[in-house]
Structure 1
Amino acid sequence: MTSTERRAPSGSTTITEEPAVALITALQSLSRAQREAAARIAHELSWPRSGVAVLHLLTTCGPTSLTDVAAHLRVDLSVASRQVSTLADGGYVVRTVDADDRRVRTVELTEAGRQLAAEAAQQYTALIDRAFAAWSTDDLVEATRTVNRLVDSISADTAHRRSPQNQQEYV
Structure 2
Amino acid sequence: MTTIDVAAATRLREAIMSVARAARTHRPDHGLPLTQITVLGYLDRSGTTTVAELADRMHVRVQSLTVSMNKLDDGGLIVRRTDPVDRRRQLVELTEAGRALILDDRAQRDAWLAQSFADNFDDTERGLMMLCVPLFERLASDRGR
Matches within 5 A, 1:75-114: 75-114=60-99
Query: Aligned residues: percent identity?
Result: 26
Distance 1:78 1:26 in 2: 34
Distance 1:125 1:89, change over 3 A: same
Given residue 82 of structure 1, which amino acid in structure 2 is its aligned partner? V
Q: 5 Å matches for 1:103-142?
A: 103-133=88-118, 134=121, 135-140=125-130, 142=131
Q: Is the 8 A contact 1:38 1:49 kept in 2?
A: no
In the alignment, structure 1 residue 146 sits paired with structure 2 residue 135: yes
Q: Are the counterparts in 1 of residues 83 and 91 from structure 2 also a CA contact under 8 Å?
A: yes
Which stretches in structure 1 are left out of the alignment for 5+ residues?
Answer: 1-17, 158-171
How far the C-alpha of 1:130 sits from its partner, in A, is: 2.4
Gaps of 5+ in 2: none
C-alpha distance in structure 2 between counterparts of 1:101 and 1:52, whole Å: 28
Query: Following TM superposition, by how much is the alpha carbon of 1:137 offset from its aligned partner in structure 2, in angstroms?
Result: 4.0
- The runs of at least 4 consecutive aligned structure 1 residues that moved more than 4 Å come to none
Say which of 40, 43, 55 aligns to 2:40. 55
Comparing both chains, which one has the higher relative contact order based on Cα–Cα distances under 8 Å and sequence gaps of 6 or more?
A: 2
The corresponding residue for 1:34 is 20
Shift of 1:148: 3.0
TM-score, normalised to structure 1, is 0.65
From the two aligned structures, give the one with the greater helix fraction: 2
Distance 1:36 1:105, change over 3 A: farther
In 2, Cα distance between equivalents of 1:103 and 1:124: 38
Provide the aligned length of Structure 1 versus Structure 2: 137
**Contact persistence 1:39–1:49 (CA under 8 A):** no
